[in-house]
Structure 1
């Protein structure tokens, strides 16, 4: 379904706008116009979006859904689900250009792995299934799937009690279905981007540099019908708050603020799918109490309303994406496990992630994972396998020349916190175990390693990159291909 979004409605929501970006999509000049000149050519892009319900039920998580544990607080099976606050979804956003197709998706769970020990349920298994279902039109390397990291979502990691295998099957199948449905629904579109400062909605868990900095930019990607800037097809929101508005005493399933915002934007714009992709959420928490409310649910609704307001402001000041080239690359990296708190042998038995190569090597005590970089026109989309620290995104903004820099955390894998820069690691380690950033972490340098892989990936898709030779020289000979894939 596609519905009209009026300029007047967006003016009323933002309060101070002189002309909206939906008009600016058509008129890439400063100021308002009647559209009689300055019309940019119709792009060669197509966009489709879809969502599928992934709420645990008696059928997908027998006997009654209570076999699903919620993840993210404490350690161990402390929070079995006692019901559903609101349905949870996987949402997909597919972009097809003259030279390729790119699929984004996000599920409302604690986090998912590239591969699972239990069977073909990993995010790269999903990508392979999408490739097969689309006859290769969407190559598996062109699929970027994130998790919203909801601490009210199912524990698909396994640290906090886990989920039954039947639910992993359901989640995999629904994710494939959402992406394929989005691909099949694609229609000619124009893409625009916007951003707004939302620093006041988040905070860092650490006050001293370099760990005090946050990425306060809220970014949006909006697809509209060609020649009709008021007809919105789909939208994407990218923001860096942990999905932890719901506290540790909550036992009701929800997608936390990303789900609230997605549903609200869908209703506000009259569209089927608004995709929220969490960004560099490492050590970045929401300002939980700024919206008011006495209960978890009240705080969730009020915080979600604040994020929604900023997203709509960003959507009311858009600029067209420059170009319609679609290019994607995926790089494999291997990191030696050196966590001094959680021994490697404990890690092997603690999580549901595959414990065989290339994802884990017991002999070498290494972890394998992937990073992705994609571009649509001159816009960069960077995807990292965990809770990336803001320093990674800030380095991409500084060193990669692009019209905008989107950043997706917990994408295609989940390795915990990606601490960066490495110089800040001692303060993070000193705060453990009260703060869990060093507990759920592969090594002191994995954040820098991921950053270097992203810079190399951005160069692979022919964006102009300023190298960080001092930090990245040790990874220069890294093999970019996933072994055995």
Structure 2
């Protein structure tokens, strides 16, 4: 994680978003949080069309992971700490406390189907960035590669969205944006280069927060749903 000029620090984390369902609507979705762990645990295999091995079967070839440091010591605006006028360094990072990472896990079935999950320690990614990473990964690995790309939404990283920083300029640093895209691609390539036999399993977990709800889910027409 990066730390800002006030010394603020915290754990890199991911979050579940509550889209603000009305109380009258929440009861319809109270079952959702209890199934959240199961759904996320299986989404890659089911959406990518990779079949789970049956109990007692030989390992089906589900594989391994890679991480690349994407920390920077360049002075940049921190993601999520507001905007300011001209050159006020108060909201810029002052150093690196813990590394920010681009992480990838690769999967390949016995039939040769490939999929990967990429997670960046960043406050967010634009649709254009995600598209460039997808295209580059498919060129490098497999045109039919199924890919999930996400950000941890940590606020202890540079502004990767251009929403903060020193007005009238954007807080987004183009060089750093290119750096994390390159790192995401390299993490995918490294993960596929280190494949080892493995077995994919799933478990059912329960979430105690029954007030969270997702309403009107958006379907994205991509390699997983089309």
Q: 1:39 to 1:127 in 2, by over 3 A?
A: closer
Match of 2:134 in 1: 127
Match of 1:46 in 2: 62
Pick the aligned partner of 1:453 from 198, 211, 219: 219
Q: 1:131 to 1:76 in 2, by over 3 A?
A: farther
After TM superposition, list the pairs within 5 Å mapping 1:110-149 onto structure 2: 110-115=123-128, 122-136=129-143, 138=145, 142-149=146-153
**Offset at 1:50?**
0.3
Match of 1:418 in 2: none
- Report the Cα distance in structure 1 between the residues aligned to 2:159 and 2:181, rounded to whole angstroms: 15
Match of 1:101 in 2: 114
After TM superposition, list the pairs within 5 Å mapping 1:247-396 onto structure 2: 390-391=213-214
User: TM-score w.r.t. structure 2 length?
Assistant: 0.63
Q: Is the 8 A contact 1:110 1:154 kept in 2?
A: yes
**Offset at 1:108?**
0.4
Equivalent position SS for 1:163: coil
- Report the Cα distance in structure 2 between the residues aligned to 1:213 and 1:133, rounded to whole angstroms: 43
- Report the Cα distance in structure 1 between the residues aligned to 2:82 and 2:154, rounded to whole angstroms: 14
- Report the Cα distance in structure 2 between the residues aligned to 1:39 and 1:199, rounded to whole angstroms: 29
After TM superposition, list the pairs within 5 Å mapping 1:50-89 onto structure 2: 50-57=66-73, 65-66=74-75, 68-75=76-83, 79-89=91-101
**Offset at 1:103?**
0.9
Q: Given the alignment of the two structures, is residue 157 of structure 1 paired with residue 161 of structure 2, yes or no?
A: yes
Equivalent position SS for 2:105: strand
Equivalent position SS for 1:151: coil
Q: Which of 1 and 2 has higher RCO (CA within 8 Å, sep 6+)?
A: 2
- Of Structure 1 and Structure 2, the greater strand share is in 1
Structure 2's unaligned 5+ residue stretches are: 1-53, 166-170
Q: Is the 8 A contact 2:62 2:200 kept in 1?
A: no
- Report the Cα distance in structure 2 between the residues aligned to 1:80 and 1:108, rounded to whole angstroms: 17
Q: 1:194 to 1:184 in 2, by over 3 A?
A: same
- Report the Cα distance in structure 2 between the residues aligned to 1:76 and 1:196, rounded to whole angstroms: 43
Q: Given the alignment of the two structures, is residue 169 of structure 1 paired with residue 178 of structure 2, yes or no?
A: yes
Equivalent position SS for 1:193: coil
- Report the Cα distance in structure 2 between the residues aligned to 1:193 and 1:39, rounded to whole angstroms: 12
**Offset at 1:196?**
3.6
Equivalent position SS for 2:179: helix
- Report the Cα distance in structure 1 between the residues aligned to 2:62 and 2:193, rounded to whole angstroms: 11
Q: Runs (4+) of structure 1 moved beyond 4 Å?
A: 75-78
Q: Is the 8 A contact 1:48 1:184 kept in 2?
A: no
- Report the Cα distance in structure 2 between the residues aligned to 1:128 and 1:101, rounded to whole angstroms: 15
Match of 1:213 in 2: 211
Structural RMSD (CA): 2.7
Across the two proteins, how many residue pairs are aligned to each other?
Answer: 163
Equivalent position SS for 2:184: helix
User: TM-score w.r.t. structure 1 length?
Assistant: 0.31
Q: 1:135 to 1:193 in 2, by over 3 A?
A: closer
